[in-house]
A and B are shown apart, each in its own frame.
Chain A
Amino acid sequence: MTDFTAEEGRTFESKLMNFRVDDNRILFGPGMVDKYFDSLGGFDLDDKALTKIMTYKNNKGEKKLIFGMFRQPTGPEETIFAKANLDETTVRSLFGNEDFKKILSKYRSGGTGDYGEQAEELNEILFNDKRYKDLNAEKAESLIARIYDFNEKEGGVRTQIS
């Protein structure tokens, strides 16, 4: 269950669609396609999807990652939002790229604070095929959100708030 903070003074709970990434495919969990069929718009299982990294704040005020998904070829109203289960394969697929490497490298050399070890471990997972040891999917999510915050403060790219 994922909690959202809605407009001021009003909260609601909503379970977001989950996915993981394996072999260049977004895999939706069992029964999810049916459950969210109406929100999936024109998505079909033989389509391609574009995912955009975004953030939101949960009820506890914690920054969390969320992924906007758009069908390709793009059409009107074909947008959904989903949570990634950041297992090693998924985190590698979403963040194991040159762009994030640069951001992580800046963070490791300047802004880790108490999270130096976590940042080192994330680097090993993303770029040296290592498995989670002290980190896990949830901690990795918070760390990545923190890394983007740091990058924004340094004048670099940031994540869009949904």
Chain B
Amino acid sequence: MADVNKFFIDPIKRRSAAQAALYQTELGRQGVVELSQDKATGKISYIFSATGEIFDSADDAFIRASKALATNFSSVLSSSAEIGSEAYNTRFAQAGNVVLDMVQGLKNAKEDKKILLEKIGLGSIDADTLSLGIITTKAEGKGAVLGTAQALDKLGMGYIPIVEADGGTFLTMKAIIGGKETHLTTTQMHMMTTILGGGILNNEKLLSNFLDRTGKASQLIDKLPKRLKAFFSERDMVIDEKDILRSIGNDKVGAKLEDSVLRTDTGVDYLKKYFGFDARSTPGLTVEVKGKTYNLINELFDKKIVDKTISNIATDAEKIILSTFEVKELIKNATSSEDILKKLDLGVESGIYSKETQAAVERVIGGIKKEVDGITLVNKRIISYKLGQLDERLTELRDALPSAVGADAERIRISISEIGAQYDLIENSDNWYQATFRGGLGSEQIKTAGRFQDFEDMGPRGLGLFSGFSTIIDKEATKGELGLNTGQFIISGLGQNSKRVYADPVSLAFSGHLFASEYDIDNAKKYSAEIIQDFYSDIQQSILPPRIKEMLNRTIYDKDLDEIPEFMMDSRSRNKQYAREILEMHQSGISPQDSPRMLNMLASLHAAEMYRTKTKGDARTYLPALHDVRRYAVSTEGSDSIGKKWRWRSCRNYDRFYRRRRSYI
């Protein structure tokens, strides 16, 4: 990269040019290499963000980053989850909440904990300066992860590695300790999290799993990287405990996130409904509205779906066992699925139940749980709340922009660009029907698919029995491998649903009989021939397809150029100009045949309908579009019917709809 210090005299232009050049590189975009400008001389230097090492030339910084095999770096502070803060991080806010919990723990540490912190060399830590570094390395083989680990070791920086198949993530921490900025050692990081809470790994759970000798301890450890990833990978949207509670109008003093969660236990809830017994009624599960008491669990499940589910799951022999007096009594008095299983265990020992009875009930409960395992219902209000917050912040930033100058103005423009992108992603996302839903409920973690829906609509019409809940989660969805205590929901996988599906190397390799058969190859040829025919027809008739027009218009009317960071300005204005010229040419009757630009655009659009390319190393693979394949989320009628029964009964075509549905189920 050319030396901007020699090319530009004006320090503002120098910074802008360096930033623009850096933005063109992957390491620059991912924050691995950052700029620094000397205020007095205006000299530009380059920082390898993961370690803080400073280099005079960008090339040296890139070589350093490549040796450490870092592909992404983000520094997270306790205020990184706060939208109003300068440190707000649109990609790692969830890690900000983890840091916030640590900072609060350090600040509120009682004497006994202070003594322990002192013993590990953190007695004089300035809690407010604690920051977490997230270094990502993406490369094949063990070498990449080892390379980063060795680089950090050499610099004496502690780290917690999260190793995956195609690379890994390294967590580092630094803070001002004894007046000096210091990287924490690996031991200090583990010890500090243990002193302040339950540890990175849930120590209590680990111990109890070791003690019960069922081999669950190794399972717990195996799951650790997967669970840690939830908090330390890029995510689309995060909402913390206080905002979740505010969004559902349940932010009374002392209110807890846990109280806003309605927990189902389908194993027992289905069986009670099947036999017509009263649903579980532990505190919080019943509400009184207009003088009538409603049991929320009872209102959630549809009797017909429940009956059909159990009828399909249980064999004839199991149905006979389920209908015996002692099993019915067991279910009637049960408070949870575990309660049933424990009583069966004891009952078999004392001779009340036979082993066949135990096996049958256990199997049916296991089958019922599969109906909802992995699906959580989430109150849609948290989305509009989050959008409101982002919108408010964008207005604040836009109001502040006209009076800001120099670096301050550029910082504001960068914030507008990042927050604006997050706002657009959430607002335009069309896959709320099943996004990836993670989070922390104090000492528990969640990892399921989340279906976002209007809780106001659930249950008997107009009563809003469920509107005060943030989520409806089945017991199966909560996990407890981590010792980190945070209250937040983390949503990822948002975006616009792509209608087109392309072959991928794995599907071709493993399911060649279905994706790469003679039929598929023949069909891909025919399909491509049809697209090429369309392409020629568009050229001959001078047609600019609506999709292209839409794309061009979007580019032209995209964000106000005044709000775009300077380093992005050149490429953005070029794109706008390009789009405007093509549209003007088309409107003035110029045919694609007379305009190479237009022709190229048409060619790329049609090519995307036929194939996409994947480049690995020097090899480029062409992956055909699969015209007869669609992509869907996977769910069940049982999970879909939660809280919906009353709406069905009031729908105009209910009889017709239900008849058809019944014949299908």
Contact = CB atoms under 8 A, between A and B. Distances in A.
Nearest to B520: A160
A25 B436 contact: no
A115 interface: no
Interface in B262-313: 305, 308-313
Interface stretch (B4-12, B234-242, B377-385, B511-519): B511-519
A25 B631 CA distance: 9
- Return the 6 tightest CB-CB contacts between A and B, nearest first: A31-B312, A34-B367, A46-B449, A45-B374, A30-B309, A74-B507
A33 B628 contact: no
Given A25-B433, A33-B371, A46-B375, A51 B630 contact: yes
Given A30-B308, A37-B367, A37-B370, 18 more contacts: A24-B497, A24-B632, A26-B633, A27-B635, A45-B636, A45-B639, A46-B375, A46-B434, A48-B632, A48-B633, A49-B633, A50-B626, A51-B629, A51-B630, A156-B526, A157-B527, A159-B628, A161-B519
B664 interface: yes
Interface string B637-665: 11110000000000000000000110011
A97 B499 contact: yes
A158 interface: yes
B511 A29 contact: no
11 contacts: A26-B635, A29-B665, A30-B665, A31-B310, A31-B371, A33-B636, A44-B373, A49-B631, A78-B510, A158-B519, A160-B514
A43 B634 contact: yes
A46 B448 contact: yes
Contact of B631 (A18, A48, A78): A48
B632 A26 contact: yes
A50 B630 contact: yes
A102 B526 CA distance: 13
B523 interface: yes
Contacts of A113: none
B472 to A, nearest CB: 15
Interface in A96-130: 97, 99, 102
Nearest to A53: B628
Interface string A50-90: 11110000000000000010101111111100000101000
A34 B504 CA distance: 30
Interface of B: 305, 308-313, 366-368, 370-375, 431, 433-434, 436, 448-449, 497, 499, 501, 504, 506-507, 510-511, 514, 517, 519-520, 523, 526-527, 530, 626-640, 660-661, 664-665
B124 to A, nearest CB: 45
Nearest to B630: A51
A78 B526 CA distance: 28
A78 B510 CA distance: 9
A24 B448 CA distance: 17
A139 to B, nearest CB: 14
Contacts of A22: 640
A31 B308 CA distance: 7
B312 A32 contact: yes
B635 to A, nearest CB: 5
Contact of A26 (B308, B511, B634): B634
A21 interface: yes
A30 B664 CA distance: 10
A25 B634 contact: yes
A45 B372 CA distance: 8
A155 B661 CA distance: 37
A49 B632 contact: yes
Nearest to A136: B660
B340 to A, nearest CB: 17
B526 A34 contact: no
A18 B497 CA distance: 24
A134 interface: no
B519 A49 contact: no
A28 interface: yes
